[in-house]
Amino acid sequence: KVHPLSFEQRLSLIRNKVGRRLLEIMLKKQSNLAVAADVTTSEELLSIANEVGPQICILKTHMDIIQDWTESVSEKLVHLAKLHHFLIFEDRKFADIGNTVELQLTGGIFHIAQWADIVNAHIIAGPGTIQALSRSAEHCGILLLAQMSSKGNLAVQEYTQKALEFAQQYEDAVFGFISLGCIGDPNFLYFTPGVKLEGGGDSLGQQYTDPKTVIAIQGSDVAIVGRGIIQSSNRREAASTYRKACWDAYLQRLEE
């Protein structure tokens, strides 16, 4: 299933403009590393964004775990994203009917549509979720959850295929998937969480795979790394190590 195309070649295949902008950033920074900043204070979130910013193509956020969230946090985040040239991916995993999703994306106290470049969605509620996201935030690129990294998850086989079909129907808005690797179509980008150099897992079902397996063998494009970097005593150095490991794995895939 792993296709042989380079990121340069994929640039002309991706219909969504956020997807193309991401590829340009990836090529320029030689980075297919996303960092998952699962932290609970704005101070820590912003300091991570600043520390790992130069090494990453994406910062993945969970705004609803930040205890002191205000609009100024998102403003500062956007400032750092511009400074270090990365995109902001709010991992909100929208899963409701279209009408509700539209309100969740634009309303509440988070106003996700104002600051996120990328958002994601489950396909469980049908295409209305995607229609709502693409209509109410045309400037946001969408990723669909096709597979998950956690033990016992239900996103397998037919479900994964359905995610691919949905994406193909909304190719202007959807530019990729959360998946364990390439699921077959080079017109989309593949983003894989559950990545750690040492492998292993955690006590709540997370299952880690190393960057080389995920990118060179399973054909994923962007590795999403959380605790592997966040819990390191030197985040800058860890991000640099992961960036190199992920990019080398991509170059290795091209050679095969």
Q: Binding site for substrate, residues?
A: 38, 60, 149, 206, 226-227
The count of chain residues that interact with ligand 5IU, using the rule CB under 6 A, is 16
Cβ-contact 224, 34 below 8 angstroms = yes
132, 64, 61: which is closest to 101 by C-alpha?
A: 132
Query: Toward ligand 5IU, which CB reaches closer, 24 or 96?
Result: 96
For ligand 5IU, the binding residue among 148, 164, 223, 245 (CB under 6 A) is 148
- Residue 89 is given by DSSP the state E
Q: Which two tokens stand for residue 104?
A: 């969740």
Rounded Cα gap, residues 18 and 81, in angstroms: 14
Annotated binding residues:
38, 60, 149, 206, 226-227
Beta strands in 40-194 (DSSP E): 58-61, 87-94, 118-121, 141-145, 174-178, 189-192
Rounded Cα gap, residues 114 and 94, in angstroms: 16
| In the complex, minimum distance from the CB of residue 184 to ligand 5IU, in angstroms, rounded to a whole number | 19
Of 23-31, 51-59, 141-149, 214-222, the window that binds ligand 5IU (rule: CB under 6 A) is: 141-149
Query: Toward ligand 5IU, which CB reaches closer, 20 or 41?
Result: 41
Length of the chain: 256
Catalytic (active-site) positions: 91, 93, 96
Does 222 help bind ligand 5IU (rule: CB under 6 A)? no
End-to-end CA distance of the chain: 13
Does 206 help bind ligand 5IU (rule: CB under 6 A)? yes
Site string for ligand 5IU, 67-106 (x = CB under 6 A): ------------------------x---------------
By CB under 6 A, name the binding residues for ligand 5IU. Answer: 36, 38, 91, 145, 148-150, 178, 193-194, 206, 224-228
